[in-house]
Amino acid sequence: MRIGTTHKLLNALGVASGLALLSASGLTPAAATTATGTLKAQIVITSNCAVSTGNATLDFGSNPSTTSGASGTTGKNGFSVTCTDLTPYTIGLQSTSSDAGTNGAGKMSASGIAQTIGYQLYQDAAHAIVWGNNAASSGGNTQSAAGTGAAQQYAVYGATTSTLNVPAGTYSDTVNINVTY
């Protein structure tokens, strides 16, 4: 049977009958062809850091007012930072007292009392490394690390820098923890 004749027969008999006729005649229809393409899967992970203090207080304890000016009283507490895995970050600490700079020094005040108690923040128990908020490449006083995806613990040390011979009261200040990533 010739192809042109087969085509006319297919049109006349309908596709199902035509396929049966082709098969009986030994002719087979052309093999199926597959077209392909690709689809991209994507997710964007952004860097993130979080600070947790658990309501921590850098506690200098309870001290009597003295006439000898007992500066150097120490305190310690800490916080944790959780950053996205491999995200570099820098931690700076800065007092919110009115004349605080980026050198880690602050002043604690008490309500209704004019005197203040100065203090200095440190990264180490020996009080050798100041902890401030100056990330400059030379003379910087911040702490740097890379995130692990888990909480990383940091201790904060402090020492008073002025006399404790002040009126009785509860002296306090707030220290901002600045994590730059």
How many Å apart are CA 132 and CA 134, to the nearest integer?
6
The domain limits of the chain are 1-42, 49-180
Domain 49-180, what fold? Answer: Immunoglobulin-like (2.60.40)
Confidence (pLDDT) at 129: 94
The per-residue pLDDT for 14 is 59
Q: Across-strand partners of 178? A: 92
Task: Provide the token pair at 61.
Answer: 């304890």
Q: Which regions in the chain score pLDDT beneath 50?
A: 9
CA pair distance 153, 80, nearest whole angstrom: 4
The model's pTM: 0.75
Enter the tokens of residue 49.
């850091």
